[in-house]
Amino acid sequence: MAKKRSRWGQLEVGNIDAYDRPMVKRPGGYSTTLSGSSEIDGKEVLLPHVGDLTEGTFGTEKSRNPTIITNKNAKMLYSKTGKHLGKFRDYRAADQYSKALHEMQVKDDARKGRK
């Protein structure tokens, strides 16, 4: 079965619910969809940089110990779970999608009353 593509040069749709992300408080706010991409097997894979290493997952809103994780740990979790926010043709496409994802999350957070 073919994977859906998006207008952002996305080759494969992510398999993480962007609206069920753990929240990490930071000075001046919080992070839920902080992400970064890495070239893996010829594709630019967008990975969350918020996760729960005690669970060994990228986490959900119910995660008890979410933290900001390094790119190395994000790649390790991806290798273990296969979970990602999307696969793209190149870094630029992944970065554009990451910014759009952030804006979608800001709107959702406002709807939920988070500031």
Which sequence spans correspond to the domains of the chain? 10-112
CA–centroid distance for 53 within its chain:
15
- For tokens 């910014």, what's the residue? 99
The model's confidence at residue 1, banded by pLDDT at 50, 70 and 90, is very low
Structure token pair of residue 105: 């999350």
Structure token pair of residue 96: 């554009």
Query: What does the angle CA 28 – CA 31 – CA 34 come to, to the nearest 5 degrees?
Result: 130
**Contact (CB, 8 A) for 24 and 15:** no
Tens of pLDDT, residue by residue over 45-104, are 999 999 999 999 999 989 999 999 999 999 999 999 999 999 999 999 999 999 999 888
